[in-house]
Copies of this chain bind each other. A is one copy, B any other.
Amino acid sequence: MLKKNIYLGLIGFGNIGTGVVKLLKENAEILEQRLGTKIILKKIVDINIEAPRMVAVDPQLLSTDVNEILNDPEIDIVIELVGGYDPALRFLTDALKKGKHVVTANKALLATYGNELFQLAAKQQRNICFEASVGGTIPIIKTIREGLVANRIKSVLGIMNGTSNYILTKMTEEKEDFETVLKEAQKLGFAEADPTFDIEGIDTAHKLALVLTLAYGKRVPLKELYREGISGISQQDVEFAGELGYHIKLLAIARQHDELIEARIHPTMVPFHHLLANVNGNYNAFHIIGDASDSVFLSGQGAGMMPTASAVISDVIDISRDILKGTSWRIPARSFQEDVIQDINLMPIENIITHYYFRFSALDHPGVLSKIAGILAEENISIATVIQKGRKKGQAVPIVMTTHKSQEKNVRQALEKIDRLDIVQGHTVLIRIEDDRLP
C-alpha cells in the first residue's frame, strides 16, 4: 500500500532544532519502520542560517523566510522552536490558520497565550502538541492525558526545572553556598547569564500551569500561582534539612480539594526515602497520584538537545499517525473537551495545610524557646521537633523547629509576632515540608 510521506517545516534552528534535525536523520530508518512511511524535513527557517551547526544540512533546505514554510501547502506539520512570545505566537497562529498541525516546546508561550492557541487549534481541528514543553524527554503530557485518563488526579508533585535542581543538588553534595554553586553552574552552561526564570520558579510556574490545565481541564492565570524561588536557600538550611532526614527540592505542587485546587511552587523539604528526594542534578521528575492508579512516578532529562528532540519527534509521529489515517484532533489538546474547560478555582495560599520548617535566629536568653513555642501554640501550631545548637550567651543562635500539619494563615500570623520579638533577629526562615509520615 502506498502511503503519503509526511512533510515537516522547522522554525528555529538553535540547540533543540539541531537535535531534531540530527535525530530525524540518524533514526530515519527506525522511524520509518515504526510509522510505516517517511518523514521528510522540507524546510528549516532561522534568522541566522550561516552559523555552523552540529549537523550537516543541504543548504537548499535553509531559509530566513518563514513564509516558505507557512505558505507551502505540502508541509503538514510545523515545528516551532523559536522560543519567546513574539514572533512565536504569530508563527503558530498562522500555521494553524493555514490548516497545519503544530508542535512546540514553548512553555512560556503556552502558559501565557495557551487559551487562544488551544481554542484556535480546536476550531481548526488541527493538533497542537507540546510534549517537550514540560519535563523534557519525560512523556508527562502523554501520561496525564492518555495513560492516566481514567483517573481523577489527586495530586501532582514535580521537579520541573533542571537548573534549580542542579543547584540544590550541588549545595547538598558539596556543601557550597547558593551563590558559589550558581556561578559554577553558569560557567558550565547549566544556568543562564540571567538565571531569574529558572531560580525564581518562573519556568516551573509555566510548566505547572500546563500540568494543571491537563490534569483538571482548567484555564490557569499564571500570575495567581503561588511562587517562591530558591535564591533564599542557605547552606545552613540544606544542612539542617539533612539532619532532619530531608533534601530540599524546588517542587511544583498541585492537589485537588473538591472544587478548589491547591497549586504552589516553592523550595520543599522531601524525606530521603521519597523517590523525588533522589532525583538529582538536572533531572526532572513527576509524582502523580490518581484515584485509581495510585502513585505513578516518572523521571528523566528535563532539558538538553537530544532528550528534548526525542519528545518533539514523539509529537511529530503522533500527528503523522493521525494524518496517515485522515484524522486529527483525536485527543483534545487540554485533555478535556473544549466545551467543559473552565477557569481554575485556586485555593488561597493562606488556606493550605502542610508541615513547616522554621529557622529562628534567637538571642541565647533563658525563656526564648518558651516564648516562641507560646506564640506558636496561640496560633494552633504544634511543634514536631526542635534543634537548638551552639550556645553563645547573649548572641544569636539558630533554633530550628518542624511542625505538625498547620495552616499557612496561622503560620504567617505566628511568624509575624515572633519576628517582632526583641530576642529574635531578622526574618525567620520558613520552608514547607512534604512528609506524609507526620500527623
Residues on A facing B (Cβ under 8 Å)? 19, 23, 26-27, 30-31, 33-36, 131, 137-139, 142-143, 146-152, 217, 273, 275, 278, 283, 290-301, 304, 306-307, 309-311, 313-314, 317-318, 321-322, 324-327, 330-332, 335-337, 340
Structural contact, B146 and A314, CB atoms closer than 8 A: yes
Contact A294 B301 (CB under 8 A): yes
Taking A299-B296, A306-B294 as contacts, is the C-beta distance between A149 and B314 under 8 angstroms?
yes
Closest to A145 in B: B34
| Closest CB pairs A-B (n = 6) | A139-B147, A150-B313, A292-B310, A325-B327, A296-B300, A137-B293
A138 touches B306 (CB 8 A): no
Interface-central residue, A35, A36, A137, A147, by most chain B CB under 10 Å: A147
Provided the pairs A326-B327, A332-B34 are in contact, do residues A314 and B278 lie with their beta carbons within 8 angstroms?
A: no
Q: Would you call B142 and A314 a contact (CB within 8 A)? A: no
**Distance of A149 Cα from B27 Cα, bound (Å):** 10
Q: Is the interface of A mostly helix, strand, loop or mixed?
A: mixed
Partner of A142 from B147, B300, B337 at Cβ < 8 Å:
B147
Contact partners of A292 in chain B: CB under 8 A: 19, 23, 27, 137, 306-307, 309-310, 313
Task: Determine if A304 and B313 form an interchain contact, defined as CB atoms under 8 angstroms apart.
Answer: no
Of B143, B275, B313, B324, which one neighbours A299 at CB under 8 angstroms?
A: B275
Alpha-carbon distance between A33 and B218 when the two chains are bound, in angstroms: 12
Contact A148 B275 (CB under 8 A): no
Query: Are B147 and A314 in contact (CB-based, < 8 A)?
Result: yes
A331, B321: Cβ atoms under 8 Å?
Answer: yes
Interfacial chain B residues near A151, Cβ < 8 Å: 27, 310
Q: Which residue of chain B is the closest to A280 with respect to CB atoms?
A: B273
Q: Is the CB of A149 within 8 A of B313?
A: yes
| Minimum C-beta distance from A275 to chain B (A) | 7
Nearest neighbor of A138 in chain B, beta-carbon distance: B296
Q: Write out the residue numbers on chain B whose beta carbons fall within 8 Å of the beta carbon of A337.
A: 33-36
Q: How far is the CB of A339 from chain B (nearest CB, A)?
A: 9
Q: List 5 other contacts, CB 8 Å, given A142-B146, A147-B311.
A: A137-B292, A139-B143, A148-B314, A292-B309, A325-B327
Contact of A293 (CB < 8 Å), options: B26, B301, B317, B331? B301
One of B35, B139, B306, B309 near A148 (C-beta < 8 A): B139
The CA-CA distance from A137 to B151 in the complex, in Å, is 11
Chain B neighbourhood of A311, CB < 8 A: 147, 293
Question: When chains A and B are docked, how far (Å) is the Cα of A36 from the Cα of B338?
Answer: 9
User: Contact between A34 and B336 (Cβ–Cβ < 8 Å)?
Assistant: yes
Q: 13 pairs across A/B with beta carbons < 8 Å?
A: A31-B149, A33-B340, A34-B337, A139-B139, A139-B296, A143-B143, A150-B310, A293-B307, A294-B301, A296-B299, A322-B330, A324-B330, A326-B327
Nearest residue, chain B, Cβ from A143:
B139
Q: Which residues of B contact A35 (CB under 8 A)?
A: 149, 337
Q: How far is the CA of A152 from the CA of B27 in the complex (A)?
A: 7
Look across to chain B and name the residue whose beta carbon is closest to the beta carbon of A20. B150
Q: Report the minimal beta-carbon distance from A312 to chain B, rounded to whole angstroms.
A: 8
Asked if B142 and A317 make an inter-chain contact with CB atoms under 8 angstroms apart, the answer reads no
**A147: nearest chain-B partner, CB-CB:** B139
- State which of B137, B290, B324 has its C-beta within 8 Å of the C-beta of A296: B137
Tell me whether A294 and B146 are in contact (CB under 8 A): no
Please name all residues of chain B whose beta carbon is closer than 8 Å to the beta carbon of A325 when the two chains form the complex.
325, 327, 330
Q: How far is the CA of A139 from the CA of B142 in the complex (A)?
A: 9
Residues in B whose Cβ lies below 8 Å from that of A147: 131, 139, 142-143, 311, 314
**From A151, which residue of chain B is reached at the shortest CB distance?**
B310
Residue contact B34 to A149, C-beta cutoff 8 Å: yes
